[in-house]
């Protein structure tokens, strides 16, 4: 089965995007498989609202397991299944907490196997903070690595928030030549274009 990996710094909206994209594709219930480094993998089936309440958070590093969901897209008369992997946030440098370091290492191992990379950036944060904190060294590294993949795309998130346009402009300047889709994970803006991008590669 082909796969999409969702990458980016912590709190950029990876989990909310993953769940709302699943909803956008018409999934009523989500079966989420958690790849826990200690307990192994286990699955839970949740309604979208339950999954959001449990998994989306303002706490940094809330997501520490790879969380995968099997989704499907109509292709011609049939449905094509694929997996979307929500990951632990990556950050610059070496994190002091060992659990978080391990979660990041796990994320890196999955990147190579993925067919599509959705790299999320937070337009609002980029607009409001010094560019090197909004866009981290890690983001430039993801972009460099991603460029060798046909399925690499930057999803410039949180465009529903005030000031986000300024952040979006910075993203266009910093990542020339990349495919960039402005989105709101919250309001599902840009999701049609994201689906179209994925469809041609899955």
Ligand X SMILES: Nc1nc2c(ncn2[C@@H]2O[C@H](COP(=O)(O)OP(=O)(O)O)[C@@H](O)[C@H]2O)c(=O)[nH]1
Q: Which among 11-19, 29-37, 70-78, 110-118 is the span making contact with ligand X, rule CB under 6 A? A: 11-19
CA distance 116 to 146: 9
Residue closer to ligand X by CB (options 56, 104) is 56
Does 184 contact ligand X by CB under 6 A?
Answer: yes
Residue 85 binds which entry of Mg ion, ligand X, none, CB below 5-8 Å type-dependent: none
Q: How far is the CB of 74 from ligand X (least distance, A)?
A: 26
Residue closer to ligand X by CB (options 107, 116) is 107
Q: Which among 4-12, 33-41, 100-108, 128-136 is the span making contact with ligand X, rule CB under 6 A? A: 4-12
Angstrom CA distances, 166 to 33, 41, 130, 170, stand at 37, 41, 12, 6
CA distance 65 to 43: 12
CA distance 118 to 154: 6
Name residues whose C-beta falls within 8 Å of residue 51's C-beta, 6 or more positions apart in sequence. 19, 30, 32
Long-range pairs, 125-132, Cβ under 8 A, ≥24: 125/11, 125/12, 125/158, 125/167, 126/166, 126/167, 126/170, 126/171, 127/163, 127/164, 127/165, 127/166, 127/167, 127/170, 128/163, 128/167, 131/170, 131/174
Residue 119 binds which entry of Mg ion, ligand X, none, CB below 5-8 Å type-dependent: none
Q: Which among 50-58, 64-72, 106-114, 173-181 is the span making contact with ligand X, rule CB under 6 A? A: 50-58
Does 33 contact ligand X by CB under 6 A?
Answer: no
Q: What's the chain's length in residues?
A: 202
CA distance 182 to 115: 21
Does 15 contact Mg ion by CB under 5 A?
Answer: yes
Residues between 161 and 180 with contacts to ligand X, criterion CB under 6 A: 161
Does 63 contact Mg ion by CB under 5 A?
Answer: yes
Binding-site size, ligand X (CB under 6 A): 21
Residue 179 binds which entry of Mg ion, ligand X, none, CB below 5-8 Å type-dependent: none
Does 64 contact Mg ion by CB under 5 A?
Answer: no
What does the binding site for ligand X look like in residue numbers (CB under 6 A)?
8, 10-16, 56-58, 62-63, 89, 157-158, 160-161, 184-186
């Amino acid at each position: 089965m082909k796969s999409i990996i969702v990458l980016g710094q912590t709190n950029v909206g990876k989990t909310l995007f993953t769940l709302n994209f699943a909803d956008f594709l018409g999934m009523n219930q989500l079966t989420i498989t958690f790849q826990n480094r200690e307990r192994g993998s286990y699955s839970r089936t949740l309604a979208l609202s339950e999954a959001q309440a449990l998994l989306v958070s303002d706490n940094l590093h809330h997501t520490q397991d790879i969380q995968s969901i099997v989704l499907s897209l109509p292709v011609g008369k049939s449905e094509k299944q694929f997996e979307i992997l929500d990951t632990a946030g990556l950050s610059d440098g070496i994190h002091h907490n060992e659990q978080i370091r391990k979660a990041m290492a796990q994320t890196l191992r999955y990147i190579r196997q993925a067919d599509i990379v959705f790299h999320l950036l937070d337009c609002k944060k980029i607009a409001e903070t010094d560019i090197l904190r909004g866009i981290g060294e890690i983001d430039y590294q993801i972009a460099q690595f991603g460029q060798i993949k046909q399925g690499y795309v930057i999803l410039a998130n949180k465009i529903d928030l005030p000031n986000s346009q300024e952040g979006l402009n910075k993203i266009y300047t910093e990542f020339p030549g990349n495919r960039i889709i402005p989105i709101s994970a919250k309001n599902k803006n840009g999701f049609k274009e994201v689906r179209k991008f994925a469809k041609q590669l899955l």
